A and B are shown apart, each in its own frame.
Chain A
Amino acid sequence: MSEVLVLIDHVDGEVKKPTYELLTIARRLGEPSAVFIGSGAQGAEVAEKVKRYGPAKVYVIDDAQIKGYLVAPKAEALQQLAEKVGDVAAILIPSSYEGKEIAARLAIKLESGLITDAVDVQADGGSPVTTQSVFAGNYTVQAKVTQGTPIITVKPNSAAPEESEGAGTVEEFTATVSDSARGAQIVASQPRQATGRPELTEAAIVVSGGRGVGSKENFTVIEGLADALGAAVGASRAAVDSGWMPHSFQVGQTGKTVSPQLYVANGISGAIQHRAGMQTSKTIVAVNKDEEAPIFELVDFGVVGDLHTVLPAATEKINERKG
Chain B
Amino acid sequence: MNIVVCVKHVPDATGDRHFEQDFTVDRVGVDGLLSELDEYAVEQALQITEKRADEEHILTALCVGPAKAVDAVRKALQMGCHAGAHVVDDSIAGSDAAATSLVIAKAVEKLGADKPVDLVVCGMASTDGAMSVIPAMLAERLGLPQVTLASVIESQGDQIRIKRDGDAATEVIGATMPLVLSVTDQSGEARYPSFKGIMAAKKKPLQTYSLADLGLEPALVGLSVAWSSVEDTTARPPRTAGEVVKDEDGSGASALTDFLAAKKFI
Contact = CB atoms under 8 A, between A and B. Distances in A.
B131 A100 contact: yes
Contacts of A316: 253
A248 to B, nearest CB: 6
B216 interface: no
Nearest to A188: B172
B253 A185 contact: no
Contacts of B229: 143-144, 146
B205 interface: no
A114 B98 contact: yes
B32 to A, nearest CB: 14
A306 B174 CA distance: 46
Contacts of A317: 253-254, 257
Given A101-B148, A184-B179, A303-B247, A144 B231 contact: yes
Interface stretch (B1-9, B68-76, B82-90, B135-143): B135-143
A195 interface: no
A14 B3 CA distance: 41
A96 B148 CA distance: 13
Contacts of B232: 141-142
B41 to A, nearest CB: 13
Contacts of B233: 139-142
A101 B169 contact: no
A304 B170 CA distance: 38
Count class of interface residues, chain B: 35 or more
Contact of B256 (A70, A109, A301, A322): A301
Given A191-B169, A305-B252, A229 B98 contact: no
B161 interface: yes
B97 A104 contact: yes
Interface stretch (B111-119, B196-204, B238-246): B238-246
Given A139-B18, A140-B236, A300-B239, 16 more contacts: A70-B147, A98-B166, A101-B133, A114-B97, A116-B131, A141-B232, A143-B230, A187-B174, A192-B170, A254-B37, A272-B14, A285-B259, A299-B239, A299-B244, A302-B242, A317-B257
20 contacts: A70-B173, A104-B131, A105-B139, A108-B137, A113-B98, A135-B18, A139-B236, A142-B231, A146-B229, A184-B145, A187-B174, A189-B169, A253-B125, A287-B256, A301-B243, A301-B256, A309-B247, A310-B247, A310-B256, A321-B257
